[in-house]
Chain A
């Protein structure tokens, strides 16, 4: 079954660009979705189907997916972007829904 590998932590300076990766064999052939979770809150969908944004999610947040890596990109990072971010996909071979281990984004 799929195992999604994320870095435990990423740091970024305010105003700079943060990239959070999600790795798996041939993940580019799958649709990847991303969630933001702030402390004490429920997860929020921020990117779906690799690169689409739900309404209300700023254009600063974007996604891409190719080869063995899916990437969530947060441009012009702000203090309010500090959160845990999780990638997720559906593994059709097992009918399981899989989450990555999560990445803690710190805006220094």
Chain B
């Protein structure tokens, strides 16, 4: 059974940093691209960042480019999102999602339950 378990969310002040983690199990993590998607309170889904299976390629939404870094540790089956210079508009539930491709996730067949990030003073 595929499982994705996010952690690392919490309350952070504007300008602060946070690192999200996503522990994966139930599939060969190193074969698949992975993605972070976020959802602000009461709003829709927003793609944030994706990474290819071997971390050769990384992709970012314009809203987070330069402030966030996606990475993965295939030896630990774990996906990360380092978030810096956080703003109030980054407040959201952050979901980890498994892609179906190796280089291009294409679409997302499994999702974690999400971790809440709140940016507020």
- Where the two chains meet, the residues of A that have a C-beta atom closer than 8 Å to any C-beta of B are 31, 33, 35, 37, 41-45, 48-49, 54, 84, 86, 88, 90, 95-102
Contact = CB atoms under 8 A, between A and B. Distances in A.
B104 to A, nearest CB: 7
Contact of B59 (A35, A54, A95): A95
Interface stretch (B7-15, B80-88, B106-114): B106-114
B99 to A, nearest CB: 9
Interface of B: 35, 37, 44-47, 50, 59, 61, 95, 100, 104-114
Contacts of A84: 44
Given A95-B59, A96-B61, A97-B35, A45 B47 contact: no
B111 A42 contact: yes
Contact of B46 (A37, A95, A99): A99
A42 B112 contact: yes
A90 B50 CA distance: 12
A35 B45 contact: yes
Contacts of B35: 97
Nearest to A48: B107
